[in-house]
Amino acid sequence: MTARQRRMTLVAVIIAGVGLAGALALRAFRENVMFYFDPSKVAAGQVRPGEHFRLGGMVVKGSVQRAAGSLDVRFVVTDFAHDVPVRYDKVLPDLFKEGAGVVALGRLDAQGTFVADEVLAKHDEKYMPPEVARSLKQGQAAAALKSGASN
């Protein structure tokens, strides 16, 4: 092997190593990123069943159902345009209540129910995560357009 062939082989090995390291880093980053979706995006099919993501919106009044003798609770999250049923089987935060903002982390099951691993409730009257506030405003605008178009 000539000196030039050895250098070219070394350059090829370095490029392959850097490419492999970059691919592994991107894969790890992708697995650790959790995207936010509102109920309208979920209803539009932008989320695949089994994919982990954050779901945010308002808890529909009158939708909370607790199973007697267990921690299992079911409720509905809305952005005022679409609703997503949620199932959770752990202790809910103290600030969780109907009509309040919520962000849940979890995944969709095959039936379209969001199975939450964690539920976060807003911590005071003024705070709401920016993406939740944005999606609620868009949902309210869409609902207003729908009701105006049907009149």
Q: Tens of pLDDT along 97-117?
A: 888 888 999 999 988 899 999
Q: Same domain, yes or no, for 29 and 58?
A: no
CATH number for 106: 2.40.50.140
pLDDT of res. 16: 95
Neighbours of 73 (CB within 10 A): 19
Q: Give the mean pLDDT of the chain.
A: 84
The residue range of the domain holding 19 is 1-33
Q: Is the pLDDT of residue 151 over 60?
A: no
Q: Same domain, yes or no, for 86 and 142?
A: yes
pLDDT of res. 67: 86
Query: What is the dihedral angle through the alpha carbons of 44, 50, 51, 52, rounded to the nearest 10 degrees?
Result: 110
pLDDT of res. 142: 66
Q: Is the pLDDT of residue 84 over 70?
A: yes
